Structure 1
Amino acid sequence: GFAARSVKVMNETVALCQLSEGAVPRESATVQLSLDGLTFTDATARAVVDLRPHPEVHRINPSSALTFGGEVLVTGEGFYFSAALCRWGSDLSSHANILGPTKVVCPAPQVTDAHTAILELDVDGYGTIKAGIFTYVEPIILHGIRVRAGPIRGGTSVSVYATSFHPDIPVSCSFGESHVVPASIVSETETSCISPPVARPGMYHVSLVHASSGEDVSVSSGDDMRYEYYDDPTLTTIMPAGGSIKGGTHV
């Protein structure tokens, strides 16, 4: 066993025991009290307490989101609490979704402007736990695409133009609602992606999504962001079937 660092008698029936940080085991323990350090009270089932480590945050992902909000996964250990409040600076908060002892999801509330805030977990019994630095950024404004059509087998290089790209927001290209491919930043205003294969021809809206969360991070300035897929060409016949060895025949 181990002894408490200090004991404070609150009243005739309550004593407050403070444990040393390194002495707390991650398991249940039996509590016994002594007035002289030699004679202890009997161990009973009612004196068994469940000791848990202090919550510790390892990382948050993503560490940035658009001003219209999103979700942030907080990973760490010791998340044995049943409820927590996510605080985004001094003015904003949201209720955390506890996924287990190592994962908490914090819904990032919508804000009116881009700024940086400290994300903290407010937990009863543990106080405030710093999770990390979180950055709100403005949506990426799209101005158009170059190469507006290609075959349904995909493989066409498509350029997407925007006002600017955020260094804190890794992006992918989305064709329609479910076809997402990696994007390569070409310049401050251009990114490039390869069109994915699709099942049927038609018009597909092109947008940019967060490379990790898949959330939409772009808005259109009004330019046409549609990409047209067409059926792969099939060669059925050629006319004429022959010509002079000197060339010059139109086929």
Structure 2
Amino acid sequence: MSYLFLFSMLLLAILVSSPAVKGKIGEGKVKYYLGKLSPDQYVVLHDVLIPSKNGKTTQIDHVVLSQAGIFVIETKNYQGWIYGSEKSKKWTQVIYKRKQSFHNPLHQNYGHIKAIEQIIGDQIKPPYYSIIAFDPKSTIKKMDVNSPRSFVIYSNQLVKLIEKHDETVLNRLQIKRISQRLEASNIVENGSSKAHIKQVRTDQQEKLMKVKAGVCPKCGNQLVTRNRKNGNGSFKGCSGFPKCRFIA
């Protein structure tokens, strides 16, 4: 019996430590916080999977519709110290002396916003607020974000930030129409999430192959070697700069 208990505990520990489970836990916490928003003033959507450009899909953790605009929220259930900037391709997570990089979530959220714009159309043009919400167990050490509608905060600060924006840009009818369009476009068929994950992995592999071949995955131009301004090493960048700012 004791062996069965130990095996169960080990299996549980493995499951909880997996990135997918950690992500769901983080999303669950944010869902709890957003549940505190008044349903009379806000429409809150969770785990939205909608079409994006080129026939692909994009998955958005949370969307909040209010009279002030649309809040697009990406959750990160990370630990350790977090470093990053709005323009950098990668951000850094530091746990003790171990460093690990991850894709800039503000860039990821930009793709989410473009997908929502595509669904809403040109008749309604609300302001968008891009929010990256880290779990409070992490520490946001250094963050260079200058855009007035981009925020990197802790998840328990979400409600206060959203309620702080109380200007009236959208009326109730517009909010209802946006909500209906997003819900109508939300892909909920069985296996859709797995297909989306498979698509993301395929896109990452194709991007890596193009970079290895010296081709910019964004515009198709050649990648060239450039020296950093501070003289500290070099990097691969698109030859189409400044029209294309891809950095490998």
Settle same-fold status: TM greater than 0.5.
no
Structure having the larger proportion of residues in strand: 1
Higher RCO (C-alpha under 8 Å, 6+ residues apart): 2
TM-score, with normalisation over the residues of structure 2?
Answer: 0.20
User: TM-score by structure 1 length?
Assistant: 0.20
Larger radius of gyration: 1
The structure richer in helix per residue is 2
